[in-house]
Copies of this chain bind each other. A is one copy, B any other.
């Protein structure tokens, strides 16, 4: 049986796919899904993605076991424990805790994908572990790029292309966005950091002074944990 390996380039295009037919991988390289992978690897009990800052704040009353993380347009929202910098997701900070997270793009993509057969989280940090698992599953795979404000961005698409690179010789049928993503990866793969430095989002993030975050998020196979959505929580896939 043939399997489809498709790429949804922005959350705005999710309605074009029957997500029920897919295992979905949500991708928000700078920085939500990189930080989620790192946090789950470092022993966070769970990460709860919520859409709104208010939903996130509501967890404050539930006690000290919850860390509240809120990011909008690349910055920590005032009054929250932290945003989506991976350096906030170290073992010292998150082990044994539940993080409630709202971000501009990543949690939006997650929520729109809710009806998928299964939702997992991808980043360069866990790419090989993720691809090994994906290869062993049955059925179609949809790589959902969180993008930037509902539009296409290069970093998420390039990562989708990197996943396709590891999976493509297994009889998958690629849709046009998947072909494009993989071709872009061919152009960027020898120096991803340099390739992405020309993007508009990279420029935005540089202005926010988070070059170290960017560098961190482009590390390959630093982790092996695969975060999976279980009800409303992201937990470690076992």
Contact = CB atoms under 8 A, between A and B. Distances in A.
Contacts of A9: 9, 152
B176 A184 contact: no
Interface in A169-204: 175-177, 179-180, 183-184, 186-187, 198-201
A194 to B, nearest CB: 13
A136 interface: no
Given A148-B176, A184-B184, 16 more contacts: A9-B9, A10-B13, A12-B16, A13-B151, A16-B150, A151-B175, A151-B177, A152-B177, A153-B176, A154-B180, A157-B180, A175-B200, A176-B200, A179-B199, A183-B187, A187-B187
Nearest to A181: B180
Interface string A15-37: 01000000000000000000000
Contacts of A200: 175-176
